[in-house]
Amino acid sequence: MRPLAPYIQPSAERTTVERVTGTAVARATDLLAVEAPLEISLGYGPAGQRQTHSLAVTMRTPGHDAELVAGFLLSEGIVQQASDIQDIEHRADPRRPEERGNVIRAELAPGVVLELDRLERHFYTSSSCGVCGKTSIAAVRASSCPAPPPVDSPQVPAALIHQLPARQRAAQQVFEQTGGLHATALFSAEGELLLLREDVGRHNAFDKVVGAALLAGQLPINQHIIMLSGRAS
Instruction: Tell me the C-alpha distance between 125 and 39, whole Å.
Output: 10
- Given the residues 17, 116, 129, 161, the one annotated as active site: 129
Which pairing describes strands 51-60 and 123-125: parallel, antiparallel, or unpaired? parallel
Dihedral angle sign, alpha carbons of residues 159, 177, 59, 40: negative
- Between helices 65-75 and 202-215, what is the axis angle to 10°? 90
Instruction: Tell me the C-alpha distance between 183 and 230, whole Å.
Output: 9
Is-contact 119 112, C-beta < 8 A?
no
For residue 44, the cross-strand partners are: 51
Q: Give yes or no: 145 in active site.
A: no
For the annotated catalytic residues, the residue numbers are 129
